[in-house]
Amino acid sequence: MSEIRQDISTNEWVIIATERAKRPHDFMKPPKQLPPEFDPKCPFCPGNEGMTPPEVLGYRQGGGANAPGWWIRVIPNRFAALSRRPGDGEPKRDIEGGFFRKMDGVGRHEVLLETPKHNLYFPNFTDKQAEEVAIALRERYLALHHEPNIKVVIIFKNHGESAGTSLLHPHCQIVATPIVPQSLRRRLATATRYFDDNGGCLYCDYIEAERKAEKRVVEDSAKFFVVHPYASRSPFETWILPKSHAASFGNQDIDSTKELGHVLKRVLGKISTMLGNPDYNIVVHTAPVNEENEDYFHWHLRIIPRLTMMAGFEIGSGIFINTALPEETAPALREAKAL
């Protein structure tokens, strides 16, 4: 019989379909052809800096802005979901026709180019490059969270077409919004209720519970805990949680940020060797700007390999059906080679 498990972070339910369960190795994707190291048409490749808006950050030795020589570069998204004009004030809220609520699309939308090489993926980075990507993300977080009217800074990565990107050049995105998304509000409410009932952080207690259970732990490193959550919504969903409590990604010191780069490189490397470089999304769940120092929320990062499709039942009910057991995928990933 299948099992219905509750997600601690949302109280949402997940069906773990044990009878349909596939073995961890059955999710392997067929190999993809690697693109060239340089693509003359790619706006993110060096030499094509003029094809993007002027950069807001560049890690480079010598050379000027918006020219080759960088190893990490951050630019405003040319097709920004949210943007800001000079002199923008408070985003205007309005009620259209006496009923429909709306507001100006004020905010920031940036793209972080992780490497000048068109075909070099995170697991193949040097440790130093992995560290610096994490440091650059932190630097942009800290720059954006103080901007006026910004409520949340959302960091994410889409890798591959089924994860929502057609641009192959390795990149992450950063969106700063003037609203708190309802899904984050729900996570905050769930964690706050837990804090009120139990007097402690839900996620700190969750780490302890998973550590005691042992069977879903992928890695327990100096500063981070990596786990396939009890109520995983999809096969190989992987959470990376800082071991010391912090509500905000921006509260990490430089040492922890470097360590995050190493952990991410290792875990993505294992996912890549075990599953054949699958498409995936990474999302960072972090507290809103005015709740960054609270005891009840705990920032973390989630990797969601795109191995299955969301279908009618998921769309209609919000209940995911997972055909893999986290108790089986976690040990398999723990033993996998990190490239």
Q: Which residues are catalytic?
A: 171
Which C-beta is closer to Zn ion: that of 13 or that of 195?
195
What number of other Cβ atoms are within 10 A of residue 22's Cβ?
A: 16
CA 301, CA 224: separation in Å to the nearest integer? 11
Nearer to Zn ion, 230 or 299 (CB): 299
Rg (CA), the chain: 20
> What are the start-end ranges of the E strands in 57-118?
57-60, 70-76, 93-96, 100-103, 108-113
CA angle 132, 144, 146 (to 5 degrees): 125
Q: How far is the CB of 298 from Zn ion (least distance, A)?
A: 3
Q: Tell me if 15 sits within 8 A of 3, measured CB to CB.
A: yes
Q: How far is the CB of 109 from Zn ion (least distance, A)?
A: 19
Taking the least distance from each CB to Zn ion, the nearer of 219 and 295 is 295
User: Which of residues 7 and 147 has its CB atom nearest to Zn ion in the complex?
Assistant: 7
Least CB distance to Zn ion at residue 315 (A): 32
Cβ 103 to Zn ion, closest distance in Å? 32
Residue 279 sits at the vertex; the CA angle it makes with 37 and 8, to the nearest 5 degrees, is: 140
Chain centroid offset of residue 179 CA: 19
> Which CB sits closer to Zn ion, 180 or 204?
204
Q: How far is the CB of 9 from Zn ion (least distance, A)?
A: 12
Angstrom distances, CA of residue 334 to CA of 130, 164, 331, 337? 20, 27, 5, 8
H/E run at residue 305: strand 300-305
Closer residue to Zn ion, CB minimum distance, 270 or 285: 285
Q: For residues 88 and 15, what is the distance between their CA atoms, to the nearest angstrom?
A: 46
The torsion angle over the Cα atoms of residues 16, 22, 25 and 27, rounded to 10 degrees, is -80
Half-sphere exposure of 151 (CA within 13 A, CB side): 11
CA–CA distance, 34 with 45 (Å, rounded to integer)? 16
The residues, any chain, with a CB within 8 Å of residue 185's CB and separated by 6 or more, are none
CB of 32 vs Zn ion, minimal distance in Å: 16
Site of interaction with Zn ion (CB under 5 A): 39, 42, 44-45, 118, 169, 201, 203-204, 245, 298
Residues 89 and 78: their CA atoms lie apart, in Å, by 22
CB of 327 to Zn ion, least distance (A): 24
- How far CA 305 is from CA of 71, 221, 225, 238, 338, in Å, comes to 26, 22, 18, 9, 16
- Nearest CB to Zn ion, comparing residues 13 and 38: 38
